[in-house]
Amino acid sequence: MAERSVEKLKNGGKVVTRVNKSGKTVVRKKNADGKTTAVTRTGKSGNPVTRKKGADGKTTAVTRTNKKGGTVKRGKNADGSTRSVTRTNADGKTVSRGKRADGSTKRVTRTNAKGIKVSRKKDAEGNTTRKSRTTAKGTKIAKNTKTGTTTRTRLNKAGRKVTVKIDKDGNKTKTKAPKK
């Protein structure tokens, strides 16, 4: 029989820790009903892998530490397919990918070298349809790659939202939010 320890929690749940046949530690968190909410085990690389589970017992998310020391979190759909992947590098930079049901990438959000959040939306074929980024001053710049239009949104000194739309010919249309 493998070694096993049980720790009771204040909420009525418990944490069951055991060593499996291959000598790796498996930690199971259970709620007061006895249903498993999370399972943490040691992966092939020796780093921990955590699976979070929903009320129906299906895995909702998998978090692991990769070989480079970063964290990878996969969000799961009810059918088990990957909904999203968020990777945080050892230096703290994050790359997030939203997925479609067929597994293709829907959007990519990341922090670039200057610390600016950059996002891209993609169509089913993998072509980029929209690029957006936020500058250091807080201006959001979005470009629709199919139509060629660019939208710049910022707050002016009075705190009103100002939107400038630039079409593919370079014509500008400026709109301001009404005064409060």
Read off the CATH number of the domain in which 68 is found.
3.90.930.1
pLDDT(1) > 60 = no
What is the pTM assigned to this prediction?
Answer: 0.69
Same domain, residue pair 98 and 49: yes
Give the burial string for 45-71 (b: 16+ CB within 10 Å, else e).
eeeebbbbbeeeeebbbbbbbeeeebe
Same domain, residue pair 78 and 26: no
Q: Residues with Cβ < 8 Å from 22, sequence gap 6 or more?
A: none
pLDDT(109) > 90 = yes
For residue 179, name the pLDDT band (cuts at 50, 70, 90). Answer: confident
Same domain, residue pair 26 and 51: no
75 in a structural domain: yes
Same domain, residue pair 61 and 28: no
Domain count, the chain: 3
118 in a structural domain: no
pLDDT value at residue 2:
59
| pLDDT averaged over every residue in the chain | 88
Please check whether residue 22 is in contact with residue 4, taking contact to mean a CB–CB distance below 8 angstroms: no
